[in-house]
Amino acid sequence: MSAIVRTGIDLIEIRRIAGLSPEIRSRFLRRVFTPLELEICADKDERLSGRFACKEAVSKALGTGIGEISWQEIEIGNDERNMPVLLLHGNAEKTAAALGISQWSVSISHTRDYATAIAVGTGTGPAPE
């Protein structure tokens, strides 16, 4: 086995989330974010946008995009210092394991207009066949 590093990055205009109509916003938020994420974000557009970008970045690092992996299988929690922490579930967790990715680092940032995130996954790589 050899060491592996997988990265993903994403950028989103915060107004994409802020501009959702109320009836669409509620359905969108429930489809994309877990209850934990919704609690952490407290309905703040910049926080929601940052976590959305982070989910996209993780899906890119996994090489799948959203589709094979659902939004809620990629969860962005917080550690004891309120830094973002990645939690994978279901197909996302299985895909990471198949790639040999065992550790993740994620970072989220935003300005007034944009939110961005980067995800870095490391590990020993896939087991030889």
User: Is residue 66 very low, low, confident or very high in pLDDT (cuts 50, 70, 90)?
Assistant: confident
* Nearest CA-CA partner of 96 in 50, 60, 128, 54: 60
User: Is residue 127 very low, low, confident or very high in pLDDT (cuts 50, 70, 90)?
Assistant: low
Q: Where are the domains of the chain?
A: 4-123
- Burial of 40-58, coded b for 16+ CB within 10 Å and e otherwise, reads bbeeebbbbbbbbbbbbbb
H or E, element range at 94 = helix 90-99
What is the DSSP pairing of strand 74-78 with strand 84-88?
antiparallel
What is the CATH code of the structural domain delimited by 4-123? 3.90.470.20
- Residue numbers annotated as active site: 60, 110
24-65 residue pLDDT tens: 999 999 999 999 999 999 999 999 999 999 999 999 999 998
pTM greater than the 0.85 cutoff = yes
User: Is residue 67 very low, low, confident or very high in pLDDT (cuts 50, 70, 90)?
Assistant: confident
Segment 72-83 shows an average pLDDT of 96
Decide if pLDDT at 125 tops 90: no
H or E, element range at 50 = helix 45-62
Decide if pLDDT at 129 tops 80: no
> Angle CA(51)–CA(76)–CA(85) in degrees, nearest 5?
120
Question: Tell me, what DSSP letter sits at residue 43?
Answer: T
